[in-house]
Structure 1
């Protein structure tokens, strides 16, 4: 795997594609507003919806989360979900911009157990924005060659590895009130 090419693209604000638990994801540096806006424009996705951050471990996400706002009595139920195919809505840190969290006070985050995606986050030493590889309203793509065909040179780096085999997108829950947003 050419991790240096992935790091270079990430640092230059380019878009990357990588396999997740169920589908290919498109991502970029969550700290780079221009990169996030490029991704939203490509996907034709409204900023109001917010985005998911994918990470290899919670330490990569902690600067985006208001960790002190997670009550002590909820911490086990929150962190016992990971690593795994569960996206959690956690209180966003005060500095997290709208272009990441959308119209919400929370940030959607996931510590993946899918090894190729974990390797990517480790190689980047960062979480990555994660949204399905497709144009809004179209079915998500599940193979690297389909991503290359659909998006061409709009994606600077495509990881060629299998998805995790899940047949549905990851569950999204608010672990502080147990509300399920996507099952």
Structure 2
């Protein structure tokens, strides 16, 4: 794909996000579904597509930690806990962190915490920079189907008109590792 095509697709995807649509994009291991985390109707549309209950909570991905700070109770983190996160970022490790009371329940679900990741995938980095904020991120697959690893698989599951940022996944076999930033405990093996 030519750089101009990728740039056009990036602008198209940002336009879809600003219109509160759900898009697909490549991540470290699989294609993700994403939307504007601040728009409840966009998040509810994503959850309906996935047939995922809102109570489970979601992951936010970003190009840098500053994009995530409005959603995080950063002052509750110790220096050691922050260092634990920053030692893994950017990269394929998601951390569950305390969330302030104003973080929307459509993101945190039944929890007082939120899962966040600063991705090292260049397409995620470009998308979050162009959008100017983090994205909701969950694997691109319909309930009961395997996560999509190619654009073709996204089109098969979601249709030819579904907005997709073209690109390749980062080649990892497993979704991101998830750790509790407070305890350091492993929640999901990566």
TM-score range, shorter chain: over 0.9
More helix per residue: 1 or 2? 2
CA displacement at 1:149 relative to structure 2? 2.0
Length, aligned pairs only:
182
Q: By how many angstroms is 1:21 displaced?
A: 0.4
Residues 37-85 of structure 1 show CA distances to partners (whole Å, capped at 9, x for unaligned) of 0000011001111110010010110101011111233221122111000
Distance 1:71 1:154, change over 3 A: farther
Gaps in structure 2 of 5+ consecutive residues = 1-5
- Aligned equivalent of 2:77, options 51, 61, 70: 70
Q: TM-score, normalised by structure 1?
A: 0.95
- 2:77 and 2:166 map into 1 onto residues whose CA distance is 37
2:178 to 133, 149, 172: 172
Moved over 6 A (4+): none
Kept after mapping to 2: 8 A contact 1:55/1:118: yes
Q: CA deviation at 1:153?
A: 6.0
Report the equivalent of 1:101.
108
Structure 1: tracts of 5 or more residues without a match: none
Deviation for aligned residue 1:135: 1.3
Match of 1:21 in 2: 28
SS of 1:22's partner is coil
How do residues 149-164 of structure 1 correspond to structure 2 at under 5 angstroms? 149-152=156-159, 155=162, 157-164=163-170
Over aligned residues, Cα RMSD in angstroms? 1.2
